[in-house]
Amino acid sequence: MALNKRILFLTIFLFVEISVAATHVAVLETVSEKDVIGRSEKMFLTDKLRDRAKAVLPAYMGYVIMTRENINAMLPPGKSIEECEGSCLVETGKNIAADYVAQARVGKFGEQLTLTVELYETAANNLVASFTTRKDDAVGLLEDIEHEADNFFGKVLQTSSVDGKMIKSDENNDNTIANVLEDSRDGKKYRIVKIGNQVWMAENLNHKIRNSGCYGNKSANCEKYGRLYTWSAASKICPDGWHLPSKNEYTTLFSSVGGKATAAKKLKTKIGWKNNGDGLDTYGFSALPAGGKDPKGKYNFEFLGTKFWSSTVEQNDKAASIYLTNGSSAYLGLDNKKNAYSVRCIKDSE
């Protein structure tokens, strides 16, 4: 009997631990203006959004995509998830204990159907991502969901909040989102963050250029991690007003966050790293374990580490790189220019 009680206690304990660590994402039922599309079509659009959320935010990274049954069971008596839209999304998310809540709304513009999808972080009441599209029928809207949803839910991977603020600040530093960088070349938007006296991109660059690619040749990894660039591509890829950081500029970054010995822990995301390698993301830099590719085309160290190119060339065929592992320390190294690594751009001095 005592042994059974102990097993039961351990089971409950582990369940609680897993539940506490998990990040719950709820995709509420798609809503529409009266008679615009049918109930079955709305449910199908919702299911497609949930499927993409599961693909982008997998369980092994600590995400739980709530099912239709989960959501209905946790709603207050008499409340339907189809009743909510607009400002009440966050409140509904809180009612069902979701960390993030998303919903699609279908309307009409002339003879066409419109679709607007929004994603909120409930704790901070922040709009994390949204997209709007317009098509002739529900099939067209479904195609746009398939095209947009991976990037849409991928924003969760770079988002953190503490006490209602998008970026957690160190007690000795005032680190806030300075703005959002929009790359005029392709329209992509990147969060940016000020750390010390430097302004950094808070997401990996994802601008397509020759000698760049996605980890494992999977387009979803470009949306998740940004692209991997050889040094020749990285050296000329930053948008106007920004540049590839030098080794000295990375050294300044490490000093601003307390030194190389703890820099990786403070600069890494809170989830996504294997072998207990998750970081604190204290400054909003949000480094993901994007891995890299060697000159022979082999991809390696995804989930375990990431490397960023610097502009500093120390040998004809080698350039300085920055390596964040699943440990606490950050490292400065020297790598073959034909390797492919991630890029973070830093704003030019004013």
For 118-157, write each residue's pLDDT tens digit.
999 988 888 889 999 999 999 999 999 988 888 899 888 7
When mean pLDDT is compared across 92-96, 108-112, 197-201, 213-217, the lowest value belongs to 92-96
Flag the least confident range among 77-81, 104-108, 146-150, 283-287. 77-81
Identify the weakest region by mean pLDDT among 14-18, 196-200, 313-317.
14-18
Closest CA to 178 of 186, 167, 170, 188: 167
Whole-angstrom Cα distance, residue 280 to residue 138? 42
> Which domains, and CATH codes, for the chain?
2-158 (3.40.50.10070), 177-347 (no CATH)
| Tokens of residue 212, six digits | 């760049």
**Confidence grade of residue 45 (pLDDT, cut at 50, 70, 90):** very high
Out of 171-175, 199-203, 319-323, give the one with best mean pLDDT: 319-323
Name the amino acid, one letter, at 126: N
Banded pLDDT at 78 (limits 50, 70, 90): low
pLDDT of residue 79: 61
Whole-model pTM: value is 0.57
3-state helix, strand, coil in the chain (%, to 5): 30, 30, 40
Rounded mean pLDDT of 84-101? Answer: 78
Q: Match 């990431």 to its residue by tokens.
A: 306
**What confidence score (pLDDT) does residue 228 get?**
98
Angstrom CA distances, 350 to 60, 145, 242, 247, stand at 43, 40, 11, 20
How far apart CA 207 and CA 187 sit, in angstroms, is 10
DSSP string, 168-221: PPPTT----EEEEEE-TTT--EEEEEEETTEEEESS------TTEE-GGG-HHH
Position 83 pLDDT exceeds 70: no
Average pLDDT over all residues of the chain: 85
**Collapsing DSSP states into helix, strand and coil, what is residue 126?**
strand
What pLDDT sits at residue 257?
Answer: 94
| CB neighbour class for 285 (10 Å; exposed up to 12, middle 13-18, buried from 19) | buried
Indicate whether 10 pLDDT > 80: no
- Give residue 58's pLDDT band: very low, low, confident or very high (50, 70, 90): confident
* pLDDT over threshold 70, residue 272: yes
Q: Where are the alpha helices (DSSP H) in the chain?
A: 2-21, 39-56, 68-74, 88-95, 138-154, 219-225, 231-234, 247-256, 260-267
Query: What are 92's two structure tokens?
Result: 């509904």
> C-alpha dihedral over 65, 70, 76, 81, to 10 degrees?
60
The two tokens of residue 85 are 């839209």
